[in-house]
Amino acid sequence: MESASSPERVWTAALIVIGDEILSGRTQDRNVAQLATWLNVQGIRLAEVRVVADRTDAIGEAVNALRVRNDYLFTTGGIGPTHDDITVDAIAEALGVPVIEHEEARAILERYYVDRGGLTVARARMTRTPQGASLIPNRVSGAPGIRIGNIFIMAGVPHITAGMLDALTGTLEGGRPVVSRTIGCWVGESEVAELLRSAEKAHDGVAIGSYPFFREGRTGANFVIRSPDPVLADTCLRHLTAELEAAGHRVISDGI
């Protein structure tokens, strides 16, 4: 098997969620889970996330820390037309490039607003990009996302972000997607902790996560086996299932 002889290149991405509304608790973030799921299909692993305030220094610090140690960096939020939308300026400053008016963005927005009151001064803010950027199509609401180097600057509103991700599908180089297999037991995870540990140890290249819960008045846990190698994941799944059943625990396929 290829994966056994040569270690695979793992492609990673980071996400910076930009917005006071997340840090104040007003808005429940949805972009972490949305991006994570999408990235996995592209064969890219979401390695780390930061949530930062609408502040130039906070955005810049996170951008420069994460862009160099990941293959890709995504940001969500702060690209609208209002005064609190400072993502473009902050990223340009972090990269040491000027902000320019992007001709293609202007053309897109002029078309988009032609029947919607025209491209006002506020709306024209959304034609600004760091110099050297290209655009990410926005099929939902006009103003495009922005790509500069390995940075992808996306909307904050999750369904607009979804449209931008859709436009990027299949365009980023990645490795094999991580597959996951889930099983569940009505058991306290502490009762099977040693068994989980040894199952993980016996299958190099597999990570097993244990996620306990309390539901319907009973204690249970789901066990998630993750690996870029589907054969290995399945082998580990069979092994762990057999071990759990040998220990007297009924195993529920696909989790509880």
Nearer to its own copies, 15 or 148 (CB): 15
Please give the residue ranges that form the binding site for its own copies (CB under 8 A). Answer: 17, 19-30, 32-37, 40, 45-54, 58, 80-84, 116-117, 120-123, 125-126, 141, 157, 178, 180, 188-191, 193-194, 196-197, 200, 207-214, 224, 226
- Tell me whether residue 13 or residue 148 sits nearer to its own copies (CB atom): 13
- What's the min distance (Å) between Cβ of 132 and its own copies? 26
Tell me the closest approach of the beta carbon of residue 84 to its own copies, in angstroms.
5
The CB-of-5 to its own copies minimum distance in angstroms stands at: 25
Kindly state the smallest distance separating residue 237's Cβ from its own copies, in Å: 16
Cα(70)–Cα(184) distance, integer angstroms: 33
User: Toward its own copies, which CB reaches closer, 45 or 249?
Assistant: 45
**Complex with its own copies: residue 36 or 100, whichever CB lies closer:** 36
